[in-house]
């Protein structure tokens, strides 16, 4: 049987030697910490006055501004929007803020601004490319992201398909427009650009009806072509097989329906000869 008797802890020696504090080491450590804190404070003060000096000195005065990839926007308009000019101190220039200012210009999609020390600034643009014109409250260019970005003015190019059926209120309030309709319009535009016969040049208008279906209107004769909401590749393939024969007679046609699987339904105008 095991002995369950607990052992008593050994009594502490009454003659235990107490350690003496090393006051010399403690004093040396305190002195080191004090010196470190003093140097940090000195560096902070010196840094403040150093930056202040650099902001006032000529070493970082802006002398040259490079503007790259601007095909549609003039350098003068870019610099006016950026609000930068030679003579400014590079340290006072916020590249991010300048980029935001430039991106407010109609044609500018992104603007990357880079400070090149000691005396230069580089501005790189990515401009927007119009794929169509969209009619909202007014006519705007439409880019590849589905963004209306520029109000049309006298002298602007008009040789683009016009997207109709989406007014401004519907564009801003109907979630289906951004989630489904505009992606479908962009997909159709991309498909037309790849075509050999029935290209975007054959199309004057892309109309979006209340159900979200797309209808093309041909330049020749203004004939409507019903496409529906999707599967544009196959539908346009069927149209191109007969389009060369139909083109001379488009003015006689009331419309073409491509939204029936595997078929091209051609409707004649009343009184037109077959």
Q: Is the pLDDT of residue 26 over 90?
A: no
Sort strands 224-228 and 253-257 into parallel, antiparallel or unpaired.
parallel
User: How confident is the model at residue 166, as a pLDDT?
Assistant: 92
User: How confident is the model at residue 68, as a pLDDT?
Assistant: 98
CATH 3.40.190.10 fits 132-268, yes or no: no
Q: Is the pLDDT of residue 167 over 90?
A: no
Spatial CA neighbour of 214 closest among 269, 245, 177: 177
pLDDT band, very low/low/confident/very high, at 2 (cuts 50, 70, 90): very low
Q: How far apart are CA 75 and CA 71, in angstroms?
A: 10
Sign of torsion over alpha carbons 220, 177, 141, 128: negative
What CATH number does the domain located at 64-127 have?
Answer: 3.10.20.310
User: How confident is the model at residue 172, as a pLDDT?
Assistant: 87
Each residue of 109-145: pLDDT tens digit? 999 999 999 999 999 999 999 999 999 999 999 999 9
Domain boundaries, the chain: 64-127, 132-268
Q: Is the pLDDT of residue 87 over 50?
A: yes
Each residue of 172-197: pLDDT tens digit? 888 888 889 999 999 999 999 999 99
User: How confident is the model at residue 261, as a pLDDT?
Assistant: 94
pLDDT band, very low/low/confident/very high, at 54 (cuts 50, 70, 90): low
Q: Tell me the pLDDT of the chain averaged across its residues.
A: 86
Mean pLDDT of 83-102: 96
């Amino acid at each position: 049987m095991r002995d369950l008797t607990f052992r008593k802890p050994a009594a502490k020696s009454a003659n235990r030697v107490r350690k003496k504090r090393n006051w010399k080491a403690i004093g040396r450590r305190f002195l080191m910490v004090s010196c470190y804190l003093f140097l940090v404070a000195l560096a902070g003060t010196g840094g403040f006055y150093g930056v202040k000096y650099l902001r006032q000195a000529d070493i970082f005065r802006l002398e040259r501004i490079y503007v790259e990839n601007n095909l549609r926007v003039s350098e003068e308009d870019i610099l006016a929007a950026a609000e930068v000019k030679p003579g400014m101190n590079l340290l006072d220039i916020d590249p991010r803020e300048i980029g935001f200012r430039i991106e407010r210009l109609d044609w500018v999609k992104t603007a990357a601004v880079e400070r090149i020390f000691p005396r230069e600034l580089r501005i790189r643009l990515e401009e927007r490319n119009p794929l169509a014109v969209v009619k909202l409250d007014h006519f705007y260019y439409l880019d590849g992201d589905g963004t209306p970005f520029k109000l049309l003015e006298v002298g602007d190019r008009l040789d683009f398909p016009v997207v109709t059926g989406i007014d401004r209120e519907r564009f801003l309030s109907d979630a289906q427009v951004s989630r489904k309709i505009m992606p479908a319009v962009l997909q159709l535009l991309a498909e037309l650009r790849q075509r050999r016969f029935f290209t975007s040049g054959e199309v004057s208008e892309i109309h979006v009806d209340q159900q979200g279906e797309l209808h093309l209107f041909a330049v020749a004769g203004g004939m409507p072509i019903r496409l529906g909401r999707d599967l544009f590749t196959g539908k346009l393939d069927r149209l191109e097989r007969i389009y060369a024969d139909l083109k001379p007679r488009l003015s006689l046609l009331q419309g073409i329906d491509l939204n029936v699987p595997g078929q091209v339904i051609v409707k004649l105008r009343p009184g037109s000869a077959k």
